[in-house]
Structure 1
């Protein structure tokens, strides 16, 4: 054996990087699966039977309330209206003569030629004609309504879908939906929440302002976070039995991102019935006892960390985690403020053995600082059922 090997002593304690548990602000966040819904949806139908003469919209474009969508054949309805107006004019002329007859009968009533029966008959005839005029005028109004129905206008602002009928075909009230219009801005975000978690959310935010204590963010199916923030405004009054969830709903802006002639006008991020991931975030960040996420290990019994004591011995401590981020683990129990938690060199640590602690690397330190400065959004605590 060489002299060098003979003089070598036992290896020293393993070097590890430690980080002291500190208070850090994080944003409480719960993640659910949800869908985008248009607040207003209109199925456009015909109110009269007529030939479709013209379609006045581009399929897939945005329309305004009052825009003319379909023009139906007007001729038969105009002729019917003119006929009804003529009947009213005829009855009104007859009524004028009846009033003269009534006045004449009343003037003769005081003389020898006057008879009460003549007055009564004249009054009855006049009242009958007045009723006939009212009925005929009602028919004029009905004909005018039917004539107006030959122009089908949009009742709301929104994006219009494809047409179900083309020019030249006959449409009737029983033809079904001609096209559908859905409103665009703002949009609803609906998502089911498990009842157990809904109770936790209620306990957490009820005293902090209720609906105003949270905001809604949306992650699109491509993983990109939508750049608008919504607000919660509705909790359903019943629980879905087969899933044991309760539906929540929020409103989120859906402004135009740009205008495209090919796309039929404004282009918007959110589409009715779109599948999204909903992030329900607390408005005010909360302070938690925080350690680097990389310090947390787990086994069948749960999560644990190694803490370096005053004698530099590593001690295994079981912990409970709250909502955490990709870089910060929020610890609710198991360690105390200022505990030195092993972050680096974990593979060399054994419970009860002496280690050589040193400050964690600059990368770990900076990640904790950046998360703290940015208010750190928490990772999802749970996920609701797919709607």
Structure 2
């Protein structure tokens, strides 16, 4: 004991007798030693302090700190994005209904509005006009013969009463009169037929609407094989034919609203689904949802457009994408139970939107769901949960 005291006293006297330059390295060594001791104390605290757990072998391990969220339930508007083309809702092809001939005048052009029965193009009818005049004359001849036959019959009826003409003569004159009247009817029917044929030479609009295309010019010879000369949109009604997968098609209903944006146009048009394709294309596995649109010059049939369709609303938990994991078994999340252990929960996801992903099966909304870093957890891990606000970003 005296020996140690003598050494310490000697060391202290030597330190006191040192100059400032000689004492500075000694003080630095003391400071370094103190820092090392502090670091060791901090390491011991984190390894053996309050935020620890005991594993199966009795060793103490540090709890993982995870952020959790209690999502609750949110009313979510389902949307489906699709693409397709603009077309006439009821397109009417117009061609030659009669015998045809040479076009002498075209009265409308693409983009014009027409009424039902309006003449679109006029075909030369000079030959038909001469035939009508000839038949009209035949009608007059037949009518004159009928009048003469009636007069002969009237005179015969007066003479038969006096006994100058037999009953057989009267019957013969009656038959002659009836035949003359019938010939008048035949002539008039033939005249009507020629008139109808001539009227069909003109190409007319079958209904009111918008002329979409014109494929005929003056001087062109047209006939029954000339094909479509004009195409029209009945009443100007248009539609978008949105192409959708089988799954998306099954989520829609007639009457659902949609927003349509034509390519190259900054305008968005509101419409409604008026028909859902009853069949699926066997090659593409797609169907068509037809969206009715009101006419607008920016909607050009044949043009490309995109649509956002509303597929109804659901009430379900809403989670950010970071909370939902997937593997070969499907989608899942980690929830933290009352024992602060991580548990895997298989889920089924629904609508995907800008605010998050809906979970339609597997969660009630009252669980503490791991918000991030779920990929570093294993079922049964003890964690320290920090609750975050139920917002999805």
Q: State the TM-score, normalizing by the size of structure 2.
A: 0.72
Q: Is the 8 A contact 1:296 1:303 kept in 2?
A: yes
- TM-superposed deviation, 1:360: 2.6
Aligned counterpart in structure 2 of residue 322 of structure 1, from 339, 350, 356:
350
Give the distance between the partners of 2:108 and 2:311, measured in 1 at CA.
Answer: 41
Aligned residues: 340
Residue aligned with 1:294, SS: helix
Q: 2:20 matched to which residue of 1?
A: none
- The residue that corresponds to 1:217 in the other structure is 258
| Counterpart in the other structure of 1:40 | 90
Q: How does 1:219-234 map to 2 (within 5 A)?
A: 222=263, 227-233=269-275
- Which residue of 74, 79, 83 maps to 2:130? 79
Pairs within 5 Å for 1:239-250: 242=282, 250=290
Contact 2:139 2:187 in 1 (8 A): yes
1:193 Cα deviation from its structure 2 partner? 6.3
Corresponding residue number in structure 1 for 2:8:
none
Higher helix share: 2
**Per-residue CA distance 1:304-343 (angstroms, 9 max, x = gap):** 2122233433333222223443433332443333111121
- Cα separation, 1, equivalents of 2:269 and 2:328: 40
Find the aligned partners of 2:66 and 2:209 in 1 and give their Cα distance.
Answer: 61
> Is contact 1:20–1:291 with CA below 8 Å preserved after alignment?
no
Q: Say which of 351, 360, 367 aligns to 2:388.
A: 360
For 1:166, which of 198, 217, 221 is the aligned residue?
217
1:125 and 2:176 aligned? yes
Secondary structure of the residue aligned to 1:175 is: coil
Higher relative contact order, structure no. (Cα contacts within 8 Å, ≥ 6 residues apart): 1
Answer whether contact 2:76 2:316 (CA < 8 A) is retained: yes
Equivalent residue number for residue 331 of structure 2 = 303
Kindly indicate whether the alpha-carbon contact (under 8 Å) linking 2:213 and 2:232 is maintained by their aligned counterparts in 1: no
In 1: Cα distance, 2:215 partner to 2:267 partner: 36
Tell me how far apart the structure 2 counterparts of residues 323 and 288 of structure 1 sit (CA, whole Å): 10
Candidates 274, 281, 301, aligned match of 2:311 = 281
Distance in 2 of aligned mates of 1:109 and 1:247: 84
- Residue of structure 1 equivalent to 2:239: 187
Equivalent in the alignment of 1:138: 189
CA deviations over 1:181-209 (Å, ceiling 9, x no partner): 23331537476764x887x76xxx9xxxx
The structural deviation recorded for 1:69 is 1.2
Query: What does residue range 337-376 of structure 1 map to in structure 2 within 5 Å?
Result: 337-346=365-374, 349-360=377-388, 365=391, 367=392
The change in CA–CA distance for 1:249 and 1:328 in structure 2 (over 3 A counts) is: closer
Contact 1:293 1:327 in 2 (8 A): no
Supply the distance in 2 between the matched residues of 1:337 and 1:219 (Cα, whole angstroms).
Answer: 34
Measured after TM superposition, the shift of residue 34 of structure 1 is 6.1
Tell me by how many angstroms 1:174 deviates.
2.9
Matching residue within 37, 48, 54 for 1:3: 37
Q: Is the 8 A contact 1:230 1:253 kept in 2?
A: yes
Aligned match of 1:92:
143
Structure 1 88/192 Cα, relative in aligned 2: closer, same or farther at 3 Å? Answer: farther
Pick the aligned partner of 1:292 from 315, 320, 327: 320
Per the TM alignment, residue 115 of structure 1 is displaced from its structure 2 partner at its CA by 1.6
Q: 1:246/1:134 Cα in 2 relative to 1: closer, same or farther (>3 Å)?
A: farther
**What residue ranges of structure 1 are gaps of 5+ in the alignment?**
206-210, 258-266, 369-387
Determine the structure 2 residue equivalent to 1:269: 299
In the alignment, what sits opposite 2:119? 68
Structure 1, 59-68 or 105-114: larger mean CA deviation: 59-68
Structure 1's 59 and 150: CA in aligned 2 closer, same or farther, altered over 3 A? same
Q: Which one is further off, 342-351 or 163-172?
A: 342-351
For structure 2, the 5+ residue unaligned runs are: 1-32, 52-62
Shift of 1:351: 4.3
Query: How far apart in 1 are the matches of 2:283 and 2:307?
Result: 18
